[in-house]
Structure 1
Amino acid sequence: MRHCAAAAAALLLASLGMSGPARAQPAGTASGQKMAHSGAVALKDFTFHDGSHLPELKLGYTTLGEPHRGAGGEIDNAVLLIHGTGGSGASYLTPEMAKALFDPGAPFDKDRFYVILPDMIGHGASSKPSDGLRMAFPAYDLADMVEAQRRALVERMGIKRLKLIGGMSMGGMVTFQWATTHPDMAEKFLPIGAYPVEVAGQNRMQRKLAIDAIKADPAWQGGNYMQQPLSGLRTATSIQMLMSGSALNLQTTYPTRETADRFVERSMAASLASGRDANDAIYQSDATRTYNPWDGLSRIRAALLWINFADDLINPVSLGIADKALARMPNARFVLVPASEETRGHGTLGQPEYWINEVKRFMAE
């Protein structure tokens, strides 16, 4: 089906994590469902991967469902789902996504599972440069995200093991990071829209181009701006929008100059109106710079379902990475969602109808 430009723009921006902060909201549409609950934990004396330090690191989160305690008193029904670059835990609470994931009979039915949707470092309600430190904020990476979340789960939430750790885009990379550094932390792992290799080539280039575009805007002023450097943010968003779409879908949905131009205008307006902070965006885009779980893949013994998209420009199938990676993970299964006029490249993350049945099957195994 074809969507109007406004709806498609909103979906694409949501899949990119460029829709701005969102508050907890009712998950799904079925009557009688429970509300999502938001909270935060404060980790004292947090030391980052590079040796930098914060006396207190705040981590926001949203939860669905209720924790269940087994015979030993430990929580045994927790699921952790991690958002993409620039997003937050609320990224999973759009009506379409929440219905597919959390409704009765869905893979993470919140009447059965205790679902935790964290805001990773630098995102959402968690500590980030825009809180005040600006470019003096520690240069966090994905390993820092995992360690902070591990401490929050074990030390503050009393969760020693999860039923599943999963995520999309950056969240998929964080899932691979979890699986290789703490392979016993979950019964199952679910990375979607990610590769378990160093971020290099085209993927790193689009990130650096976006970062450089912001820094090249005179209004950025070394991060000490009084108003957002909108020209730089617009260019950064444009790069990410093109990388996250699908040529076939965009040509099919916007077949004329007028419709294409209108989509760009509405997408840019929505992104710039979202309140996205330039320094936060720089840190978010650069957080993958040390990521490379490749050598640790052989440590993964838990069941792992890995889903990518055939028309994803950020994780192109032509690189041939999947077969080599699967040879290192004995209990992994890889699903490649075929391209069509309706799939949206990396943005297919926001179209659960194309991959949710695989997740249901995985959770039933």
Structure 2
Amino acid sequence: MPWTTLAALALQAAAAPAPATPVAQPPVAQSSRWVLKEADYTAKDVRFRNGETMAAVRLHYGTLGTPHRDASGRIDNAVMVLHGTGGSGRQFLQPQFADQLYGPGQPLDIRRYWIILPDNIGHGRSSKPSDGLHMRFPEYDYDDMVMLQHRLLTDGLGLDRLRVLIGTSMGCMHGFIWGEAYPGFARALMPLACQPVEIGGLNRMWRQLLVDGIEADPTWNGGEYKTQPLQGLRTASSISVIAGSAPLNFQKLWPTRDLATETARERVERDMATRDANDMIYQFESSRTYNPWPNLERITVPVTWINSADDFINPRNFAFAEAALKRMPNARFRMIAETDDTHGHGTHTWAVNWKQDLVDLLARSGS
């Protein structure tokens, strides 16, 4: 799909959605082709934006490929890919993502690029409430998460530049924060599946209802449960499944009442089995202060921002893109058209939908 002009973009933006979190999706097996080198970085004496502190925060991460140093000794081939709400770096080993990007001659060929896949605080194998602090864990937000990513790259991995930063869903929003908080650190930004605006309207409502559903379960017990509060998690996972829906794709895959009923129940059960109630509350509440809109002019590096038309969380009829592009001089926006093969908010995970856009972004941001 060709790049839109600003005039055409206004019409296009009026026809596509805007999400921001990894909602429940069917599990896809990791490809055996890709083996992560995994490690932990410990950030010491962390102060969060709200004034809370932790003596140490563990950040787990994995890498593919090998760092390359230029003549001055500077690593010049690092690519960071950021996951969405509830996800982890390992999700980017799924074949519909990894097998499209990392192989010989592909956009992120690991013979050429060093891929960094962190688990954000509150997620995966990084520090999180379920480690023991429960609801006493510091109330981190997206700015805190980006600050910790920056510490991982600079203090942990010795980087002062990224070749490109790719972010999906929550990671998409982190990409906009990166562009403002650390201008030029990433030579290019590729935010996938979000909006650069405060989380309000329906996007805030469904998140709030998800959190309220957990906290309304008496067995949640203020976060001090001995076993998971199943009714609260069922409510939260049900909302998450709806938020990740893709109407045309679902109709094609499960066209009868019985198939749809069975699949809906299976998806909720599968999602519940992966969740911890306190972790989930923190993961969704961390978006509460997100709002890069006032400072978009700080983002001057090349940006390719992509949403999908069947995204429940980022509705296609928002017109934010046209106004945002006028304030980010090197930004481009594309809306992926809805088909029965797109995946709603999860379309960003299927790299075939934006692989060529990444090739173009790498070309226009330098060799």
Aligned residue in 2 for 1:248: 248
Looking at structure 2, the residues matched to 219 and 18 of structure 1 have their Cα atoms a distance apart, in angstroms, of 26
Offset, 1:15 = 5.3
1:336-351 aligned at under 5 Å gives the runs: 336-351=335-350
- SS of the residue 1:317 aligns to: coil
Q: Which amino acid aligns with 2:110?
A: K
Aligned to 1:333: 332
TM-score by length of 2: 0.90
Q: Once structures 1 and 2 are overlaid, which stretch shifts more, 149-158 or 341-350?
A: 341-350
1:301-316 alignment, distance < 5 Å: 301-316=300-315
TM-score normalised to structure 1 length: 0.91
- Name the structure 1 match of 2:3: none
Superposed CA offset, 1:178-222 (max 9, x none) = 011111111000100010000000001110010000001111111
- What is aligned with 1:107? 107
Matched-pair contact (CA < 8 Å) for 1:18–1:87: no
Contact 2:141 2:286 in 1 (8 A): yes
Query: Which structure is higher in RCO with an 8 Å CA cutoff and minimum separation 6?
Result: 2
Greater mean alpha carbon deviation, residues 251-260 or residues 153-162:
251-260
- Report the Cα offset of residue 103 of structure 1: 1.4
2:126 match: 126
- CA–CA distance in structure 1, aligned partners of residues 218 and 210 of structure 2: 15
Residue 75 of structure 2 corresponds to which residue in structure 1? 75
- 1:137 — aligned with what? 137
In 2, the alpha carbon distance for the partners of 1:39 and 1:195 equals 32
Given that residues 23 and 243 in structure 2 are in contact (C-alpha distance below 8 angstroms), is that contact kept between their aligned partners in structure 1?
A: no
SS in 2 for 1:117: strand
* Contact 1:181-1:296 at 8 Å conserved across structures: no
Q: List runs of 5+ in structure 1 lacking aligned partners.
A: 1-13
- Once the two structures are superposed, the pairs formed by residues 1-365 of structure 1 within 5 Å of their partners are 16=23, 29=33, 35-274=35-274, 276-365=275-364
CA contact (8 A) 1:28 1:102 kept: no
Distance 1:287 1:190 in 2: 21
Looking at structure 2, the residues matched to 16 and 356 of structure 1 have their Cα atoms a distance apart, in angstroms, of 22
Q: CA deviation at 1:306?
A: 0.2
> Across the two proteins, how many residue pairs are aligned to each other?
344
Contact persistence 2:24–2:237 (CA under 8 A)? no
Report the counterpart of residue 13 of structure 2 in structure 1: none
Could you tell me how far apart the structure 2 residues matched to 1:28 and 1:205 are?
39
Provide the C-alpha distance between the structure 1 equivalents of 2:175 and 2:353, rounded to a whole number of angstroms: 20
Measure, in 1, the Cα distance between the counterparts of 2:156 and 2:251.
Answer: 49
Q: Which amino acid aligns with 1:189?
A: L
Q: Secondary structure at the match of 1:335?
A: strand
Q: How many angstroms does 1:249 deviate by?
A: 2.2
SS at match of 2:176: helix
In the TM superposition, residue 154 of structure 1 has moved relative to its aligned partner by 0.8
Contact 1:17/1:88 (CA < 8 Å) preserved in 2? no
8 Å contact 2:104–2:110 — kept in the other structure?
yes
Shift, 1:265, TM fit: 1.8
Q: Percent of aligned pairs with the same residue? A: 45
2-side partners of 1:251 and 1:210: how far apart?
A: 25
Unaligned runs of 5+ in 2: 1-20
